[in-house]
Structure 1
């Protein structure tokens, strides 16, 4: 499932290409034709991401003027110069020069501005949003008996954080992933948050997840670059059994709260 930086990157690109422009909205696949017709020909006025959700606002003379998208596990939103639609395109947004094609989303619906507000109220602080409120998240973390590795994946607390960023920020800050939220030190929480803000912004800029510090890069360590379609250079994610880039111990792996967890026991002892 795409992590939050992917949705923010898509929102930026949609804004660059379509904001303030009349657009054609269609459903080549046919499953969204009725809804697409309601905003077809209207002006796209804003695209924004909140966590793993994308909201595209149209200047349409109807109550349902916001396209709400969640890509889920297999969804994609490709943006390219206009050409005939290929495959199962649920929604196409086009201005004659560029087309944004949505395929296989978990969620795709037209909603009102009020429904959008209700949807975002259920989401936690997004490290990529200027209006994020990490204090509210800290208060919930501080009261929880759940391990911090599980809390980081809770979208009602940390919107947009996925498995890669979860594993990597815990490693980079030496934090035991099994530490209950109520035992996590305030300084550790603030370090996690600051790291998420910095790393996810780099993800938006570069379009990939890189988390290793310069001294642990392939060039500095004279090692081959990592080859993995899931991300760039990382410390522990999907590196189970391989030597830790810092201490050399084997990277560990387990399933925690239904998701794959990767960590280094010697390096991650802090709370």
Structure 2
């Protein structure tokens, strides 16, 4: 499932192609046809990301909602290249600049603005966005006996954090993933928020996840950091900093990675 940086990058890139333009909206697959008809030909004002959700603001006043889930993917055809839809394309957006196909999302709908408000009300703050209420995250963590590794993946606590950023933020802050939320002090929560914010925003800028500092890698300046070298603990056999064997935990059916030396219990 894409993490928050990917969703923000999609909103930025797709918005540059679609915002302010009338859009032909169809559903080649058919499952989105009734909703597509409601906004077909309308002008798309903007695409708003929040965590792992995308909201399409149409000039009709209605709001499109997309959640990619595990299998959702977009494909862009630029300019006049408008091939026949391939596979189960749920939604096709056609402007004079590009054609964008969406397949396999968990959610894809056109709704009244109240639905967007309800969804946002269920989500925690998005660290990528400015002026977010981090206290909402802090309060939920402080009240919970669940492990912090579990809480960071809960989108009602903080929106946009996935398995990679969970592992990497906890590593950088030296926090064991099974530490109870109630045991976290304010300095640790501030450090987590700052670390997650910096990592996610860097991910939007880079278009990929790179959490390590280049100075900690033995690679020439300017050379691209390979995917397997881009993290401290996530999917590593040994800790980048101390060499200790990385340990695995199953948290909510997802594998969590941590260094027992750098992240003592």
- TM class by shorter chain equals over 0.9
Q: Secondary structure at the match of 2:115?
A: helix
User: Given the alignment, which residue of 252, 261, 267 partners 2:256?
Assistant: 261
The aligned runs of 1:15-26 (5 Å cut-off) are 15-26=15-26
Q: Any gaps of 5 or more consecutive residues in structure 2?
A: none
2:17–2:97 contact (8 Å) kept in structure 1: no
Does 2:96 correspond to 1:96?
yes
Once superposed, which parts of structure 1, at least 4 consecutive aligned residues long, lie more than 2 Å away?
224-228
Structure 1 unaligned blocks of 5 or more: none
After TM superposition, give the deviation of residue 165 of structure 1 in Å. Answer: 0.2
Partner SS for 1:248: coil
Give the CA deviation at 1:218: 4.2
In 2, Cα distance between the equivalents of 1:44 and 1:225? Answer: 37
Equivalent residue number for residue 246 of structure 1: 241
Q: Distance in 1 between matches of 2:113 and 2:14?
A: 19
Q: TM-score normalized by structure 2?
A: 0.93
Equivalent position SS for 1:254: strand
1:156-195 aligned within 5 A: 156-195=156-195
CA distance in 2, matches of 1:77, 1:204: 17
Which of 223, 232, 237 aligns to 1:235? It is 232
CA RMSD of superposed structures (Å): 1.8
- What whole-Å deviation, never above 9, does each CA across 1:54-79 have from its counterpart, x for those lacking one? 1011112xx6x211000000111222
Q: In structure 1, what is the equivalent of residue 77 of structure 2? A: 80
- Alpha-carbon distance in structure 2 between the residues aligned to 1:155 and 1:140: 11
- Contact conserved, 1:145 with 1:181, CA < 8 A, in 2? yes
Aligned residues: 260
Looking at structure 2, the residues matched to 120 and 173 of structure 1 have their Cα atoms a distance apart, in angstroms, of 28
Contact 2:18–2:97 (8 Å) recurs in 1? no
Between the aligned partners of 1:138 and 1:20, the Cα distance in structure 2 is 38
SS of the equivalent of 2:44 reads: strand
**Distance in 1 between residues matched to 2:205 and 2:68, nearest whole Å:** 20
Paired with 2:216 and 2:71, the residues of 1 have a C-alpha distance of 32
Give matches, 1:109-258, under 5 Å: 109-219=109-219, 226-227=226-227, 233-239=230-236, 242-258=237-253
Q: Deviations over 1:166-206 (max 9, x none)?
A: 00000011111111111112111111110111111111111
CA–CA separation in structure 1 for the residues paired with 2:263 and 2:37: 53
Matches within 5 A, 1:16-95: 16-60=16-60, 65-81=62-78, 82-84=81-83, 85-95=85-95
Contact 1:214 1:220 in 2 (8 A): no
CA distance in 1, matches of 2:17, 2:242: 46
